[in-house]
Structures are given as C-alpha cells and as structure tokens.
A and B are shown apart, each in its own frame.
Chain A
C-alpha cells in the first residue's frame, strides 16, 4: 500500500489514506479539568477513567503495581498514574497541573488535572483556562465544603459552561440516595449565587468503578448515565464565540508576490468578502482570500489558524486585530478586570507590568485594587492594599497604548490577559476583563 518516494528505499509515503478507518479520524475533542481536595480521590478517578477505557498500557501498569507494593498500598494505586514528579510521589499529593489523554470511539479527551489545596488556586485557574468542562469532586461523606465552593467559583470565573459534580465515595455511604440528594440540594443552593449554565450530578465510586465508565447496579435510583457517557455526549459546539468576528494578527506572512496575515480566528465566522476594520488604526478593507497550505477556503471560524489576504494594501503588523465592522471590540486604555495573582511577590497599586492580550503586548499599570474576593465565603472585601499569591480581586488597569478588548463573558480569547513582571519576566497574573 505504501509507495517509495523518488525510488528511495529509505522513505515511504502512503499513496492513499483510504485504507485507514475514517471514523476514528473525525472525532471531536473535549478538554476538561478536574478539581477536588486532597482526599477526594481525584487522581483515582482519572486513573479509573484511563484504566477502564484501556488507555493505560501494560508497562505503565506494571510500573505502578511495583510502586504500589513498595509503598505498601493494598490495591494497585491508580493515583500513581497521574502523580508524575518525584516530589509528588514522596508527598502523596499533586502539586502542579498535569495533562492526561484518553480517547473513546466518540471523543478524544484532554484532562487538566489540578491540585486542590488552597495554595494552588493558581494551578486550578491555569487548568480551567483551557477547559470546556469541569468535574468537581465531592466526598459523599463530607458533602459541600469550602473547597467545593472554591472550585465551583473558579470554574464559573473562567466561564466553563459545563460542570459535572461527581459525588465520590458512594460506597462509603452505602450508595445512599438520600445523601446524594442532600449534597445536590446544598450544591445548587450554593451555585445559584454563581450562575452556571449546565450542572449535572453523578453518584460515583472511583475506587470501585461505579458510574464511572459503566452504569452501576448499586445506584438503581440514578438514571443520568455514567460519567463517561456524559463526557462523550455533552454538547460543546457552541462554546466558542461565533458572533463577533475577531482575527488578531500574529505574524505577517510573506513570500514572492504574496503578502498575508497569519493568525487564529478568535471569534465569529470570517468569510471571503467580509468587511473588516483593522484596529487600532481604524482602516477598513475586505477579506480577499483565506489561505491554508491545503488550499483556499471560503470561511474560517474559531479556533482555526489561517492566513488572510486583504483587498487593500494595509501596512499591518503583529498586535493589531481585524474585526468585522458589524461587531467591533472596545478600544481601551483603561478598563477593569478580575485578576488571579500567581506570584510570590504581591501586586500593589502603582506597579507596572507587561500586559499580554491576544498577540498584543503593552505596558500596563494597575491603578487601583477595587475589591478582593474571599474565595471561601464568596464575599468581597473592600479597602484592599495588595493581592497576594492565589488571591483573586477586581482591579483597574491603565495601558500605554490601546488594547482591543471584549468582556471575558463574551469572548474568552479577547477577554483574557496575563501580566508579566518586567524584571523577572515571570507570568504574575491571569486576568478576565470585565468592562
């Protein structure tokens, strides 16, 4: 089936991909994050999902069997699969965001596995920033606790549209429907203050495998399907902003007789012939072609990376943005944002930072900290002087030149930013633009 290239026996190229099963090539992709406190069994759940979908290989299993024995664990400790770094294995906790992969015939999954301790809010925010869905783990014995609130709040702050509350360790409460319903009621009472579009509750036992991959016979009172079937079917096609045409320019692409602009569509559906405005300059033109190495296309949508050419010869460069004229972003040098602080050096008013927003980079100053959120009570605290690591607060930011912003609730790409320390070059904050 394979041909050799240029009669070179060292190189093979398939003459046609037709022999390959196409159904596996056309899966979609769900990114989700898992949050839970130390003993909620999060790593065990991920281990279970991977184990039961046969995503764990024999050599990995052998390695963890060996480690489990060395540690004196009774059963094979599935949590060891995800606890990758030495320090973590020694302390028995997850200290950073780890990414895990598995696939079923329906979907490919990317898991951002984040630790649940209070001091790791920043990791939770990081994991949540790219997720379509969050699994919040609750221990069936303990119910909704402060950490549950914190995780749910962060998921809502990062605009994760779908939340699955996995009530774990049901085996330790005799698979009690009453206990499950109580947790559900408590959770909904708490989350009603936050506002999340899609919340589902599933009684599981990660350790025993109940309702993880297969429906459990031990919860006949529950009919919402196992966790995996929910992950496979949750509708995510509308999670991108398809309304507001946004194309930040990443790079000018030049070749002989060709000049185009490379970038990723961050909002809306961009079509050939569309009228667009280059911001901040304000020059108007129309889309001439949309190009890829595989050929010209008629339209592009998020999150496609393409090259566009324009009908007028505009001198545009990285950091500028093409927006459809019918729905323009705001050009701002002063705006408010919710910041999650990520660095050991606290934020204080008057500090200057480098602000990165889409492909644009400007100098920014935080001119005021308007309030700080007590993430455990979800109450806001006024009269704030600084924001410390893992704290979340509303701030007002001034920039040296205009930034083309949307509210984060409208568009996750043009509504998000990071702050970078000018001296250490470290990323010190994640920001969600509010107005």
Chain B
C-alpha cells in the first residue's frame, strides 16, 4: 500500500512554498533580502517553486556593504540573469556618503552594524511591506522564538513582547500604517537541512562554500581573509590555508574554517560531525551574550 508521508525535506519545502504564496497574496509590496549566502539561495529556489511556471513576483534586495567576497557578487549577478529576477541594490557606501551611517574606524572596520541602516533606508525607499529573510530558528537563541511573520514597528524594530501568536498555518499579515513585516520561510530548517536540500535539488552555490586555498590571518581564533579592508596588526602574517566558508557575510567579519570538503558529500559529513555552530565563526555575534538579540531589536535580523 502506498504510504502518504513526505520526507522531512519535502515537508519543509512545502511549508516554505505555502508561506511565499501567503505573503504575496496578503501583502502589496514584498521583497526578498538576498545576501548571496546559502540560506538566501535556498530561499530563492523555494520562491521559484512557489510561483512556477510564473516568474518570482517580487524583487531581490541586496544590501551591499562594499566589503563583499567577489564570488558572492559574481554569483548574484549570474542568478539574476539566469532566472530573470529584479534586483535592487542598497549601498552602505551610499548611506555613508549621505551621512546617515558613520564608518567604524580601527584596523578592521566592520560595516556589519551599518547594514541595518541601509536596509531600513532601502525598505523605506521602495515602500516594502514584507521583507523575506533567510533566518532560521536553529541559528541562535534569540531566533528560536522568531515567528514566520515577524512584526516590526514603524522604526523597523522587533519587540519580542509584541509578536503575534502563530496558530496552525493561519498567518496574520495585517499591519497599520508605517509598520511592516519580516518573513522567514525557512524558519524551521537547520543548517543540515539546508545542505541536504542543496544536494537534493542540485542548487548552484558560490564557490567559496567549497574547500579552496586562500590567504588568511588568525585573529583571536577567527580566520579572516586577506582583503583591502583588513589591516594586519603587529606580528600578524597572512598564511595560505585550505579553507572554506560555512556562512557568508562580509570579508571583514566572516571567519573561514579549515576544511578539505570540496563537494557536498564532504560538506554534509563535516556539518554532521561539527562541534561548533556556524555562527561560532562570526565575530559579530561574540560581543556579548545577548548580542544577536540586541541587533535584532535594532532592525538587523
């Protein structure tokens, strides 16, 4: 007898497709935040499935810090052309030039904190009422309570006490003037699910997720890539190592991991046996125990 059950990946896929269709039906001007990272790439794949054979009915927004891995930008541009997508680029440099954002100083200035400013400016400029993000609840403690439909006030801020209960899959996307929503279609996915899905669906990725040789410097246990924005401290040297990236952020704050995994089977094995979270390599989460929660309150994810 036929068994009417779906694998965990098929269930997660179906759930995400359902969320995409709800949002496009409930909101007027949705957009997808696209970082070039694996989570946003998977999200886009799911969006294509949700509206196929139609086009993805909303634009992608890329917040460009100017500190990107070149591979991420190449990938973004290829994707936009391959799938006939609309792309909006919000520029952190633009916010700095306008004076709405102030560049950090020091040997390793990060534009990570400035992203939220440019993001909110871009959302406002295009009047976006629902912004899809690739956040997952397994990433970090503060995200474990995130909703699929995450309500933001008129300042783009997240108030953990003011989130709507989400019953069954009856999502409530109604909002008052100046409020908007962040939408997380892959809330229930884990890092492992994302990698398994990439393998199952044969999704193309930026090559820096796979093992390659690169010059890096070990700073407080984090392997930072050689880049024009990083100044070596006294006694520091770049060394060539075989590395790959588990997450993809700015070159100034994303740490590499030593790895020889040059295919998905290798990466999945590595994720399965890994003893640290992927965000363990992000220097931006380490500033305090509640770092992520505080950045969320400010309008970061």
A residues within 8 Å of B by Cβ?
1-2, 4-6, 8-17, 19-21, 24-29, 57-60, 63, 66-67, 81-87, 96-101, 103, 107-108, 110, 122-123, 125-126, 129-130, 236-237, 240, 242, 250-251, 253-255, 258, 262-264, 269, 291-293, 301-305, 307, 318, 342, 354, 356-357, 359, 412-413, 416-418, 420, 424-427, 430
> Do the beta carbons of A25 and B196 come within 8 Å of each other?
yes
Question: Given A14-B202, A25-B199, A96-B145, A418 and B167 touching (CB < 8 A)?
Answer: yes
Segment at the interface with A among B94-102, B136-144, B231-239? B136-144
CB-CB < 8 A to B163: which residues of A?
A: 96
How far does the alpha carbon of A122 sit from the alpha carbon of B145 in the complex, in Å? 15
> Do the beta carbons of B164 and A59 come within 8 Å of each other?
no
CB-CB < 8 A to A262: which residues of B?
A: 21, 50-51
Number of interface residues of B (CB under 8 A): 83
CB-CB < 8 A to A253: which residues of B?
A: 51-54
Residue of B17, B143, B168, B265 ringed by the most chain A CB atoms within 10 A: B168
- A256 to B, closest residue via Cβ: B53
Residue of B70, B207, B272, B293 ringed by the most chain A CB atoms within 10 A: B207
CB-CB < 8 A to A356: which residues of B?
A: 170, 172
> Do the beta carbons of B164 and A250 come within 8 Å of each other?
no
Q: How close is B97's CB to chain A, nearest CB, in angstroms?
A: 28
Question: Given A4-B207, A123-B165, A126-B167, A27 and B8 touching (CB < 8 A)?
Answer: yes
How far does the alpha carbon of A351 sit from the alpha carbon of B24 in the complex, in Å? 29
> Do the beta carbons of A251 and B75 come within 8 Å of each other?
no
> Do the beta carbons of A29 and B11 come within 8 Å of each other?
yes
- Of A17, A58, A81, A237, the residue contacting B3 (CB under 8 A) is A237
Residue of B22, B49, B54, B166 ringed by the most chain A CB atoms within 10 A: B54
- A359 to B, closest residue via Cβ: B25
CB-CB < 8 A to A357: which residues of B?
A: 170
How far does the alpha carbon of A356 sit from the alpha carbon of B210 in the complex, in Å? 45
Determine whether B127 belongs to the interface, using a CB cutoff of 8 Å to chain A.
no
Segment at the interface with A among B85-93, B104-112, B115-123, B185-193? B185-193
- Of A2, A110, A342, A425, the residue contacting B176 (CB under 8 A) is A425
> Do the beta carbons of A126 and B204 come within 8 Å of each other?
no
Q: How close is A30's CB to chain B, nearest CB, in angstroms?
A: 9
Leading 4 A-B pairs by shortest Cβ distance: A10-B74, A1-B263, A84-B141, A13-B204
